[in-house]
Homo-oligomer: A and B are copies of this chain.
Amino acid sequence: MQFDDKVPIYYQIKNYLYHRIIAGQLAPGDKVPAVRQLAVDLTVNVNTVQRALSEMVTEQVLISKRGRGNFVTEDVTQIAALKHHLIVTYVQQFYHQVHGLELSDDEIVQELRTYIATQKGADK
């Protein structure tokens, strides 16, 4: 995985796991890979992974079972809320970024559409 050096790695790991959970690659009740395994996979220190996971346990997105592993919450309502929260956050951030560049609302939508169009043709 590739990290943005302008944002803490533990924070990016949290977002990575959020996305995997919401995308269903990590389903409710699923066991998250072991911290040591994740550290290897992400080429990162165990403590950095641990920080990300422990915050997600505090948020009750993950449930920690000592000696067994960390598991995705089975509370699907909470996962849905998380998804909604992330969407709103991303949309807000994007809108304010581009609006600050003096683009009209229509132009903002148009820029997005144009980009999506270029993505369709691009294989992989």
Contacts and interface: CB of A to CB of B under 8 A. Distances in A.
So how many copies of this chain end up in the complex? 2
A91 B24 CA distance: 25
Nearest to A100: B19
A51 interface: no
A42 interface: no
Classify the interface of chain A: helix, strand, loop or mixed: helix
Contacts of A24: 102
Given A95-B112, A109-B109, A112-B108, A101 B8 contact: no
A6 interface: yes
A62 to B, nearest CB: 18
A103 interface: yes
A119 B105 CA distance: 10
Nearest to A90: B97
Interface string A64-88: 0000000000000000000100111
